A and B are shown apart, each in its own frame.
Chain A
Amino acid sequence: MRIFSAVAMFSLLLFLAGCRQDMHDQPKYKPLGESRFFADGRDARPIPPGTIARDELNDNDSFHTGAANGEFLDAIPLKVDLNLLHRGQERFNIFCSPCHGRTGDGNGMVAQRGVKIPADFHTDRLRSVPPGYIYQVIKNGYGAMGDYGDQIPVNDRWAIVAYVKALQLSRDATLNDVPTARRAQLSGGNQPPLLGAPR
């Protein structure tokens, strides 16, 4: 009897052998996972050179290059309204403000930690560049600044351009530039601000 129960207990232990992780770790690929098949160990395959994603055949398309006939576009090829500016403000604060600062004078946190950002959006030169030029800096980078083409989709790039232009205009705007109906806000009225306080 004793032997019987001991054997029974031990065979119960065998159930533990069922605790395998096969269903937890299936041999399927998840994003940026590991592969034992490909030599470089990645399941995300590098894009072969020359690949063009759908809707992205855009060699001559000024919307994607920011230039037409060898000249930078001097207008933003999207409807510029408050929605676009809000979007631009949000994206600017995510992607540009770490270096250029929230107001664009090159005084972001990275600059404060010792890397000089030799670009101030409020210099005469950068105030006079066409929107297409700023677009193209985002897409391709400029000098010491890396490109943001992979991180920021096309529409958002234009939204950022619109916001940079708005920042530049706001720098020396006068009271006369503000619609009369909105002037009360400047003197501390309690209407919500047109472009919300930066988040």
Chain B
Amino acid sequence: MPQYFSRSANSFARFTILGAVCVLVAVCWLGYLIVRSPYEMMQNVPREQPVPFSHEHHVGGLGIDCRYCHTTVEKSSFANIPATKICMNCHSQMWATSPMLEPVRESYRTGKSIEWTRVNDLPEFVYFDHSIHVNHGVGCATCHGRVDKMPLTWQAAPLTMEWCLNCHRHPERYVRPRDQVFSMDYTPPPNQIALGKRLVSEYHIQSLTSCSTCHR
């Protein structure tokens, strides 16, 4: 019986096996990339809100400080979402009949909460604390981006474990002087590493990378 396959078919077969393995790895890698992609993490996607609240107008335009609304950000783990009353400080007189603000007025009348859509959302097995970051010279903009340019709020950072650890391993690359934490247009100086090293020792910043720092 004549041979159906030439000898070269052998190496072809071996090559296909190798190919199959490669394809499998590539598929897994692709899956990983998709799961970690900004799309899946909903990074940079402006979220619909019950009231089209704009940081661009209130922070960029009016220059209101973050702490006017996010009152507990310096003292507690939670930054606070402002109570309806805080909006009404101004909007009882300003845009007081605008239909855009009807949910705010309704909430004020009835005492029902406005249901904001969460933008930055860590899984619930992760512990995060605002006060420690803010008091150690990590600026809002480092993690939340240029909030003052957001007509609707979006998530600016990937919020993966890799991202947190990158800073916890090298805090000197990111820390800034404490009085610049709330400033949106601070740009790191060219000698950031030198400045960062000085601040890290001045503020007694440790490199916290043990698992129980964030998983507790």
Given A94-B68, A115-B93, A146-B92, A110-B123 contact (CB < 8 Å)? no
Contact A94 B94 (CB under 8 A): no
- Residue-wise interface mask of A (17-44) relative to B, using a CB-CB cutoff of 8 A (1 in contact, 0 not): 0000001111010111010000011100
Q: How far is the CA of A109 from the CA of B64 in the complex (A)?
A: 9
Count, A-B residue pairs, CB within 8 A: 64
The answer to whether A25 and B124 have CB atoms under 8 Å apart is yes
Q: How far is the CA of A150 from the CA of B80 in the complex (A)?
A: 13
B120 contacts partner chain A, Cβ-Cβ < 8 Å:
no
- Chain B at the A interface: SS class: loop
Flag if B124 contacts A26 (CB, 8 Å).
yes
Find out whether the CB atom of B124 lies under 8 angstroms from the CB atom of A28.
yes
Known contacts A98-B64, A199-B179; A23/B123 CB under 8 A? yes
Q: How far is the CB of B79 from chain A (nearest CB, A)?
A: 9
Q: Please tell me if B36 contacts chain A, counting CB pairs below 8 Å.
A: no
B113 at interface by CB-CB < 8 Å: yes
CA gap between A34 and B63 in the complex, in Å: 31
User: Provided the pairs A24-B124, A26-B125, A150-B85 are in contact, do residues A98 and B63 lie with their beta carbons within 8 angstroms?
Assistant: yes
Chosen A-B contacts, 13 in total, with CB atoms closer than 8 Å, are A23-B123, A25-B124, A26-B124, A30-B124, A94-B67, A98-B90, A109-B64, A114-B94, A145-B89, A146-B88, A151-B68, A151-B71, A151-B86
Bound Cα distance A31, B61 (Å): 29
Docked pose: A32 CA to B114 CA in angstroms: 11
In terms of DSSP, what is the predominant structure of the interface of chain A?
Answer: loop
Smallest Cβ distance from B20 to chain A, in angstroms? 11
Q: Which residue of A lies closest to B116 (CB)?
A: A32
By beta carbon, the residue of chain B nearest A30 is B124
Do A146 and B85 touch (CB < 8 A)?
yes
CA distance A46 to B110 in the complex (A): 13
B123-143 CB mask vs A (1 if < 8 Å, else 0) is 111000000000000000000
Contact: B68 with A115, CB < 8 Å?
A: no
Within 8 A of A (CB), among B23-82: 61-65, 67-68, 71, 78, 80-81
